[in-house]
Amino acid sequence: MPHTAAASTPVQQAIQVSRKDLPLSCPPPDTPVWNLHPRVYLPIEDEPNGEAVCPYCGARYVLTD
């Protein structure tokens, strides 16, 4: 049976954020130093579905309000 990227890539749980967390940036401030990447701001409030994905680490954020 051939392996596909979708089958071997774990599904990452969405991180829920609210409007009080805006502007949204990744990585979050509480991220350990060993796990940092360049900070990127994600314009989640401009997205019609209220979701954004970090281009560096693939973290998925969902706006809850």
Q: What is the pLDDT of residue 17?
A: 96
22: its two tokens: 């805006």
Distances from the Cα of 30 to the Cαs of 18, 42, 46, 49, in angstroms? 17, 17, 25, 26
Q: What is the pLDDT of residue 10?
A: 55
Q: Where are the domains of the chain?
A: 11-30+39-63
Tens of pLDDT along 6-52?
455 556 799 999 999 999 999 988 899 998 999 999 999 999 999 99
